[in-house]
Chain A
Amino acid sequence: MNATAMAERVRRGETSARFLAEESLRAIRARNEELNVFLHVDEHGAMAAAARVDDAIARGEDPGRLAGVPIALKDNLCQVGVPTTCSSRILEGWRPPYSATVVERLLDAGAVPMGKTNLDEFAMGSSTETSAFGPTRNPLDPTRVPGGSSGGSAAAVAAGMTPLALGSDTGGSIRQPAALCGIVGVKPTYGLVSRYGLIAFASSLDQIGPFATSVADAALLLEVIAGHDPMDSTSLPEPAPSLVAHLDDGVAGRRIGLVRELIEGADAEIVTAVERAASVLEAAGATVVELSIPELRLGLSAYYLIAPAEASSNLARYDGVRYGLRVTDEDVTAMNEATRTAGFGAEVKRRIMLGTYALSAGYYDAYYGQALKVRTQMRDAFKRAYRDVDTLLGATTPSVAFTFGSKTNDPMAMYLSDVFTIPTNLAGEAALSVPFGRGEADLPTGVQLLGPGRSEARLLAAAKVLEDVERGS
């Protein structure tokens, strides 16, 4: 059952939040040992949240738009009292003293958080293989990765453990795992969703967004978590946009650009899926034009200097003083070093090193400074494209879900799996991935729809057109 239907049935008293939470716990227990999706299952907290929803119904109150819907949270989102690790030894055992704004909004809407899902350590990775607590397996084929970094959240939804999940997307960490697990994932406009309580990776790129089995569920969840939050100074100063009401707007009259650079180098089946998506959108009344945005080719280079630079600064806070791991040593500096050396995994160290180098004296202008100028060019290139078309279309990933270990020895090969998703984060704009087509080994492929800031309603309506055709409705 999808989330929209679940909430309606709970609000009408046809089922209970407690029953849905128990069903979710059963589904989690059935496969969590095999798939390693949840790092922590908050059974007690979930049942308490479900009871509050059922009590509200019994009193004749409306518990909210997500009444009784189980949801999974990526383990870089703080929930008061619930262990939060970022899949890192350095935060193992830490319990946040406050909740992320998105978690508060979920609880206010009657949703039932079931626990915390696995991710690449500090969200640095594209496969969950950098997690200190072991990789998550793809529920569709357990010999393959679910993608990353929000691989646990994507797998929770794909395995039917929860109908909804939250992830975070810094360079593709929602859209890429959504594509690899055959579900919907949205990277909202920068600032649309509050980052308060999201443990920072790269602050100018990070954005929280939804995973769901349908476009309608993703729209509903995004509406619930979006909107201004005074606790995040980069939060857009406006209320949540209306998304669900526009789901059936269609694409008639829209101009959609099929971007050459967003299919370049992708598997043949994926290129075919994107081209078929273009035909479907055209048949639904859109005009599709092919176009080229050469600046997108520079995205990967700029991203892998900007994101590590911001990460090296953000992760300086893990110094063994205020929270998390401490490894004692003779003085403070030695203690800082011993703690960080023991607490961080190889990929996190690699990115801290890269970022520190890019920001260090003598290299700042050549690397970080140059990357920021490329970022300007990328934004300008998108702006030029949006003078001619209102939506862009491409692939989400170059390949379907890959096998474990196939990219772990070569960081550049792993980074390339985000080549189509990174430009949106650099521009601070909106994009989503919707399942469309099949690729190698009959695994799902994702099609990506991109738009300027605040274009979520339009992107979701276009995704709905594709989803309807794919489902034959």
Chain B
Amino acid sequence: MSGLTRTEVAHVARLARLRLSDEELDLFTVQLARILDHAADMQSLDLAGVVATAHPYDLINVVREDVVRPSLDRDVVLAAAPDAEDGCFAVPRIMGEEL
């Protein structure tokens, strides 16, 4: 068993910026534990000397020539934003306390 706890699930939800209801916490604790239990077949393997594969092929640092190319129009991009002001994305206050 993975031994996943409700407290750990609540912690992960905070890391993932998700708010879970009590029912969702209960359900996800059971469901995620079941998925992690399935992965136990993998965990019992001794893979100490095996190199990890993060990507299907071995490309490293693909670069292009350093030339200026047109990019997306700023007004078009900002038009898709929920809120914009003075040519920038606008968001609620970031500081935790009144300045």
Interface residues of A (CB under 8 A from B): 94-95, 97-98, 190-191, 204, 230, 233-234, 297-298, 300-302, 304-305, 312, 316, 319-326, 328-338, 340-341, 344, 346, 349-350, 352-354, 356-357, 360, 366-367, 369-377, 379, 411-412, 415, 427-429, 453
Task: Please determine whether A372 and B12 come into contact, CB atoms closer than 8 angstroms.
Answer: no
Q: Considering the chains assembled together, what is the distance between the CA atoms of A330 and B8 in angstroms?
A: 26
Least Cβ distance of A419 to chain B in Å? 11
A411-B34, A411-B35, A428-B56 known; A370-B43 Cβ under 8 A? yes
Task: Please determine whether A298 and B41 come into contact, CB atoms closer than 8 angstroms.
Answer: yes
- Of A334, A356, A374, the contact of B47 (CB 8 Å cutoff): A374
Interface residues of B (CB under 8 A from A): 4, 8-9, 12-13, 15-20, 24, 28, 31-32, 34-36, 38-39, 41-43, 45, 47, 50-57, 59, 62, 64, 72-73, 76-77, 80-83, 89, 91-96
A353-B32, A373-B47, A376-B52 known; A335-B91 Cβ under 8 A? yes
A97-B72, A97-B73, A354-B32 known; A372-B18 Cβ under 8 A? no
Task: Please determine whether B19 and A337 come into contact, CB atoms closer than 8 angstroms.
Answer: yes
A191-B56, A191-B57, A325-B82 known; A350-B94 Cβ under 8 A? no
Q: Considering the chains assembled together, what is the distance between the CA atoms of A370 and B76 in angstroms?
A: 43
Q: Considering the chains assembled together, what is the distance between the CA atoms of A360 and B45 in angstroms?
A: 21
Q: Which of A301, A326, A333, A337 has the most CB of B within 10 A?
A: A301
Nearest opposing residue in chain B for A334, CB measure: B92
A373 CB contacts on chain B under 8 angstroms? 47, 50-53
Nearest opposing residue in chain B for A346, CB measure: B24
Task: Please determine whether A427 and B56 come into contact, CB atoms closer than 8 angstroms.
Answer: yes
Task: Please determine whether B81 and A301 come into contact, CB atoms closer than 8 angstroms.
Answer: no
Task: Please determine whether A305 and B39 come into contact, CB atoms closer than 8 angstroms.
Answer: yes
Nearest opposing residue in chain B for A93, CB measure: B80
Q: Considering the chains assembled together, what is the distance between the CA atoms of A370 and B48 in angstroms?
A: 9
Q: Which of B39, B53, B82 has the most CB of A within 10 A?
A: B53
Task: Please determine whether B18 and A94 come into contact, CB atoms closer than 8 angstroms.
Answer: no
A344 CB contacts on chain B under 8 angstroms? 18
Nearest opposing residue in chain B for A371, CB measure: B42
Q: Considering the chains assembled together, what is the distance between the CA atoms of A122 and B82 in angstroms?
A: 21
A191 CB contacts on chain B under 8 angstroms? 56-57
Task: Please determine whether B93 and A233 come into contact, CB atoms closer than 8 angstroms.
Answer: no
- Of B17, B53, B55, B77, the contact of A333 (CB 8 Å cutoff): B17
Q: A341-B19, A379-B56 are in contact. List 17 more A-B contacts (CB 8 A).
A: A95-B80, A234-B62, A298-B45, A301-B39, A312-B16, A325-B82, A326-B83, A336-B17, A346-B24, A350-B28, A350-B32, A367-B39, A369-B52, A373-B51, A374-B42, A375-B53, A377-B50
Least Cβ distance of A473 to chain B in Å? 36
B36 CB contacts on chain A under 8 angstroms? 354, 357, 367
Q: Considering the chains assembled together, what is the distance between the CA atoms of A335 and B50 in angstroms?
A: 42
- Of B41, B77, B92, the contact of A330 (CB 8 Å cutoff): B92
Nearest opposing residue in chain B for A367, CB measure: B39
Least Cβ distance of B75 to chain A in Å? 10
15 A–B contacts, CB within 8 A, in A order: A97-B80, A230-B64, A300-B38, A301-B39, A305-B39, A312-B16, A330-B93, A332-B94, A335-B91, A369-B52, A373-B52, A376-B50, A415-B35, A428-B56, A428-B57
Least Cβ distance of A328 to chain B in Å? 7
A411 CB contacts on chain B under 8 angstroms? 31, 34-35
Task: Please determine whether B12 and A356 come into contact, CB atoms closer than 8 angstroms.
Answer: yes
Nearest opposing residue in chain B for A190, CB measure: B56
- Of B47, B53, B82, B93, the contact of A332 (CB 8 Å cutoff): B93
Task: Please determine whether B43 and A366 come into contact, CB atoms closer than 8 angstroms.
Answer: yes
Least Cβ distance of B48 to chain A in Å? 9
Q: Which of B12, B34, B41, B96 has the most CB of A within 10 A?
A: B12
Q: Considering the chains assembled together, what is the distance between the CA atoms of A353 and B56 in angstroms?
A: 24
Task: Please determine whether B38 and A360 come into contact, CB atoms closer than 8 angstroms.
Answer: no
Nearest opposing residue in chain B for A304, CB measure: B35
- Of A329, A341, A353, the contact of B92 (CB 8 Å cutoff): A329
A374-B47, A411-B34, A412-B35 known; A340-B18 Cβ under 8 A? yes
A321-B82, A357-B32, A367-B36 known; A301-B17 Cβ under 8 A? no
Q: Considering the chains assembled together, what is the distance between the CA atoms of A338 and B91 in angstroms?
A: 13
A337 CB contacts on chain B under 8 angstroms? 17-19
A329-B92, A366-B43 known; A301-B52 Cβ under 8 A? no
A353 CB contacts on chain B under 8 angstroms? 9, 12-13, 16, 18, 28, 32
- Of A94, A321, A374, A375, the contact of B45 (CB 8 Å cutoff): A374
Least Cβ distance of B39 to chain A in Å? 4
A350-B31, A356-B16, A411-B31 known; A94-B80 Cβ under 8 A? yes
Least Cβ distance of B8 to chain A in Å? 7
Least Cβ distance of A68 to chain B in Å? 30
Q: Considering the chains assembled together, what is the distance between the CA atoms of A322 and B80 in angstroms?
A: 7
Q: Considering the chains assembled together, what is the distance between the CA atoms of A374 and B28 in angstroms?
A: 26
B50 CB contacts on chain A under 8 angstroms? 373, 376-377
Nearest opposing residue in chain A for B62, CB measure: A233
